[in-house]
Amino acid sequence: MGVFSYWIDTARALRTTLRNAFRPPTTVEFPAVIRPRAERYRASFALVDDENGECACVACQACEKICPSQVIKMKSGGKRESPVTGKKRAYADEFVLDLSACMQCELCVQVCNNDAIVMIREPEEPAYTRADLVFDMAHLRDNAHTKTATWANGTRLQEMQEGKKVPKAKPEPKPEPKPEPKPEPKAEPKPPTEGGTP
Ligand code: SF4
Ligand code: SF4
């Protein structure tokens, strides 16, 4: 009985192996190939500019206070004259967001009455340390200029809560396939010197 069940199990295992060996692969070679992400996929954050090209954040601290993970920290610069409009407005001098402990609840986006903080669809570069996932104002502003924001901002999320019609999410731009890295040319072996040592 023991030997018989051994062969039965072996045949079953072989059948599973053979069945899977000829199936098309279900994995892709990331990052050369990126699967289409869900319509409302959100990955990281950006601080957007206002209509005058200045950071729209006025350091009201609403996002900092509502964040359940307490990962947003900022320093208000108080009110000063805008170099663009000449009008007085409030500024944030520092804005730090620790993505490593964020739970992607989007509450910070929802409470922002200036639509200054939004989420973006592209994930950040993978990091080796938690410190690499702590983003300062420069990084968050750069994300606004280089990455695709999700459909949501404070105004739209607040309208959704009030039962107003929500716009459809924009389709994600197709990622460019990355070129394959060229193999390094192999170094020629050095001829031995007269003393016999290489
Ligand atoms: S991002 Fe919005 S909610 Fe947060 S401090 Fe700036 S203006 Fe206020
Ligand atoms: S998504 Fe939620 S946890 Fe993440 S920073 Fe915003 S409020 Fe905090």
Q: Which domains does the chain have, with CATH numbers?
A: 41-161 (3.30.70.3270)
For the CA of 62, the closest atom of ligand 1 is 3
Question: Taking residues 44-66, what's their average pLDDT?
Answer: 97
Residue from 102, 111, 120 to probe ligand 2 pocket by mutation (most atoms less than 8 Å from CB)? 102
pLDDT at 38: 85
Question: Taking residues 43-56, what's their average pLDDT?
Answer: 96
Question: Taking residues 112-140, what's their average pLDDT?
Answer: 95
Angstrom distance (rounded) from CA 110 to CA 181: 42
pLDDT at 48: 97
pTM greater than 0.85: no
Percentage with pLDDT > 70 across the chain: 83
pLDDT at 171: 58
> Which of the given ranges, 27-36, 57-66, 123-132, 164-173, has the highest pLDDT on average?
57-66
Q: Is the dihedral of CA 79, 50, 113, 42 positive or negative?
A: negative
Does 64 sit in the ligand 2 pocket, CB within 6 Å? no
What is the tens place of the pLDDT at every residue in 67-120? 999 999 999 999 999 999 999 999 999 999 999 999 999 999 999 999 999 999
Residue 140: CB atoms within 10 A of its CB come to 23
Q: Average per-residue pLDDT in the chain?
A: 88
Does 133 sit in the ligand 2 pocket, CB within 6 Å? no
